[in-house]
Amino acid sequence: MDRRKRLFEISDLKIAGKLENFNELQFDEYCRKLSVFIDNFPEQEEKLKTTLTAKDYTSFAKHLLIIQNMLEEIYADDIAKNCQKLLGGLSNVSDANHEKFETYMSYFLANLSVLSIDILMSEHKEQTHDSVERTKEKTTPGGVQKSILAVDDQDMFLLVMKSFLKDSPYKLTCLASGADALNYLKKNRPDMFILDIMMPEMDGYELAQKIRESGHKAPIIFLTGNYSKEAILKAIKAGGSDFIVKPATKEQVLTRILRFI
């Protein structure tokens, strides 16, 4: 599947009726705009967080408008409209509801980060899928549940994962370190891995490499709060198949899992 077709899989890009008619020069220009968004979003996101924390709503609005313009350039129309609504509602933000607005913005920015990652993955998707075993079945032929190994040194996120998958058809095992995970893999073969990147002693990159070196080909989904181009490409090189951006919602977690098992 070429990149043009893969871009149609990104639901936040409203490109139906547009991309099909692009010639190669127009498509290359569109891809350039996608790259501009990927390259510039982390910096603009950091400025949004800084100005919002400082309650500098004028500067916050300026950086949100920059993001809105980038989104319009790549036809992320629905998210761009959300930016416009946020800009229009800034006059109603006060000290009394500032914390609530910050919480909302953290999830809004996480959604933007997912879009950034999806766009980057559309360019490098072959690297993530060539050696990955995938099946949409929820059970093995013998009726055994598909299993997921989640590794994160933060107990809170593991508890969140358990709550998200409580009623799912998957068997979830949670461990707190890379060493525990490698020991677990001596006798078990999960159908999917969900790995936090930032862990002490052995980070997610190193753990993913060791998983691949030991012969496990199941999909690896990274948990990340760093969605810079460099960090994502490093994760892909380590064997990553996809990403869950923190803070994650139940819908985002399940959507990522359902792509593979």
Domain boundary among 72, 99, 125: 125
For the chain, what is the largest distance between any 2 Cα atoms, rounded to a whole number of angstroms? 60
Last residue of a domain, one of 125, 160, 178: 125
Q: Which two tokens stand for residue 41?
A: 């979003």
Task: List pLDDT tens digits, range 101-143.
Answer: 999 999 899 889 999 999 998 887 655 544 456 555 656 655 6
| 115 and 161 co-located in one domain | no
Residues 153 and 120 in one domain: no
* Count, residues in the chain: 261
Percent of the chain with pLDDT over 90: 72
pLDDT in tens, 50-108: 999 999 999 999 999 999 999 999 999 999 999 999 999 999 999 999 999 999 999 89
With 80 as the cut, is the pLDDT of residue 216 above it? Answer: yes
Q: Are 43 and 162 within one domain? A: no
At residue 246, the pLDDT reads: 83
Return d(Cα 32, Cα 24) in angstroms, integer: 12
Same domain, yes or no: 91 and 163: no
Question: Which tokens sit at 78?
Answer: 């629905």
CATH code for the domain in which residue 63 is found: 1.20.120
- Same domain as 64, residue 16: yes
Whether the predicted pLDDT of 144 surpasses 90: no
Note the pTM of the prediction, 2 decimals: 0.81
Helix H or strand E encompassing 242: strand 242-245
In this structure, are 137 and 65 located in the same domain?
A: no
Residue 125 · residue 6 · CB < 8 Å:
yes
Helix axes 57-73, 77-89, angle to 10 degrees: 160
Angle CA 178–180–181, to nearest 5: 60
SS3 category, 228: coil
Same domain for 74 and 148, yes or no, is no
First-last CA distance in the chain:
20
- Among 14-18, 29-33, 181-185, 232-236, whose mean pLDDT is lowest? 232-236
Q: Which of 105, 125, 145 is the last residue of a domain?
A: 125
Sheet holding 192-196, edge to edge: 170-175, 146-151, 192-196, 220-224, 242-245
Q: Tell me: do 188 and 250 sit in the same domain.
A: yes
**Distances from the Cα of 129 to the Cα of 91, 149, 217, angstroms:** 46, 19, 10
Question: Quick one: tokens of 116?
Answer: 């950034």
Residue 151's closest CA among 192, 121, 105? 192
* 10 and 118 inside one domain: yes
Full domain range(s) for residue 28? 3-125
**One domain for residues 19 and 111:** yes
